[in-house]
Every structure is written in C-alpha cells, then in structure tokens.
Amino acid sequence: MKNRQTELIIAVPSKGRLRRPTVRLLARAGISPSNEHSRSLYSPTVIPWLSMVAFRASDIPRLVESGAADLGITGYDFMVESGVKVHELLDLQYGFSRMVLAVPEGSKINSPKDLKAKVRIATKFPSIARRYLKSKGVEARIVKVSGAAEIAPTLGIAEAIIDITSTGATLRLHKLKVIDEILQSTARLIANEKALKAKRERIGEVSTALLSVLRARRKKLIMMNVPEEKLRKVVKLIPSMGGPTVARVESKPPMWEVYSVIDEEDVYQVINRVKAAGARDILVLPIERIVP
C-alpha cells in the first residue's frame, strides 16, 4: 500500500444490491480500478492517490469510523444500524429501499399496537428493531438472523419480521404484509471525521466528481439552429440552468446556434415549441457530468 498520509481509500460494497450501481457511478465519475480485470479486494484506481477496498456494505460504516478507509459508500440503513459516528457527504440517490415491519398475510395484526407481548421478531437489524419497538411500546424478543428474514414466520422462528424491501415482491412471495414503515434508505457517501479534516481537498475532489454525475441525471443538452429573425422568440421558450448559450453561425441568411441544458421531462414540449417558433436542425444529447 502507499503512504496513508497522502493516499485516500474508499470502501465500496463487495456484493449485494449496492454493488453494481456503485461501480457504475464511480466509473461515470472517472474512478475505476487501474486493473479492470483484478478480483482483488484492494485495488489502486486510475487516480494515483485513490485506492478502493471492497467490503460488505454492512461493515463499511465501522470501517470508515475506525479510519481504515477514509471514504465509504453504503446504505443509510447500515449507517443507522451500526450507530457509528461518521460524516455523511452525499445522498447518492440509488439503492432505494424501505425498512418495514411485516407479518403473515392471514394474521389479524394490522399495526404495531396489535403485537402481543413477547412476540418474536426476526431481523438482520437488531439495533434498529430494538429502538423502533421501544418507541412503539412493544415488548418483543428479537431473533437475529444473518440470511433472509422473510422465511422466519413460515419456519415458525418468529411471528413477524423487520427487514429491507425494495419492490415488495419478496414479501408477497412469502405471503407477508407490511404493517408499518420504519425508515427509508438510499446509498450514501460517508467520510471519516479525522480524514475529512486532514484530507479535505482530496475528499472534496471525489465528492465533486460523484456529485457532477448526480447532477447530470435526467438532464439533456438541446442544440438547434435559429434564423436571426426568430432568435428572440425561440430563446424565450427554452428553460435552462443559467440561460441558453447563443453563438453566431457563419451562414446566409444570418443564423444562430442555441444550446441549453434542460430537464429530460421537458424535452418533448421544448422541441415542439421551438420548432413551431422557427428553430431547426435540433439535436438532443446525453450529459455525463455537470460541474457548476
């Protein structure tokens, strides 16, 4: 390994629902292993001072808190469960899930208040479960599981579960119904508090790179040619981040090139409006990164 005083280490999920979107996000931000075919859990990246380590997402909060990694990408649910003291830098806006309390579909239990004393609840998140149940005044026995909690009621291990769900399909498959939502979770970029002070500039560069990708999501670059006599009318029809850019085109009759960054959902209406106002040669292009 390189000198820890100058190197930055980011911990990323080694598997699970956060692995693939994390790798994609880092790649789009220009952060990828220098050896793309390496299966090593520790890998240098194409950025000389940045290395990557792969760990279970549930272990990453403690890894970052301890200083073994300066940065980490993990789920908010794992942050809350671990109870660590780290600095959250970014909500990365993927890996959306809900932590819920669920019971068998045929049960007469429809809310937490219907749970009987000493009810057994299976979960991979015992810390969150205890705090939640205490807040609801429910006296329960926590059954800690490391695998799928959904099967616990079928096996008679527990009468209810507290677990993460994205689409609800797995719960339905196991004939479970949600009776309460505990929290919502997405992937987060977190930093070690000491590293944030000692390596603020480097950490800022990584954070900016990731944020630039997030800003570009659902944005498009629209470009068009506009005859000079139509220019003022067309410009008024174009939404933009800071005003459309206008440049003269060397042509006869006089023509102007107009381009702007707009929201993806506005593309259809904008194209029809500017075309009706006289714009032509309209192009719509994807945007990979936006750095203010």
pLDDT, residue 6, reads 62
Q: Please report the DSSP string for 231-275 in residue order.
A: HHHHHTT---SS--EEEEE--SS-EEEEEEEEEGGGHHHHHHHHH
Identify the pLDDT of residue 1: 46
pLDDT for the residue 41: 85
Amino acid at position 69, single letter: A
Closest CA to 161 of 199, 119, 195: 119
Closest C-alpha among 7, 20, 6 to residue 187? 20
Distances from the Cα of 274 to the Cαs of 128, 131, 244, in angstroms?
Answer: 53, 56, 13
Q: Whose CA is closest to 188, among 264, 94, 117, 99?
A: 94
pLDDT digits (tens, 9 = 90+) for 236-269: 999 877 778 999 988 788 899 999 999 999 999 9
Are 53 and 11 spatial neighbours (Cβ–Cβ below 8 Å)?
A: yes
What the chain holds in terms of domains, given with CATH numbers, is 8-94+186-216 (3.40.190.10), 97-184 (3.40.190.10), 219-286 (3.30.70.120)
Residues of the chain short of pLDDT 50, as ranges, are: 1-2
pLDDT of the residue at 4: 57
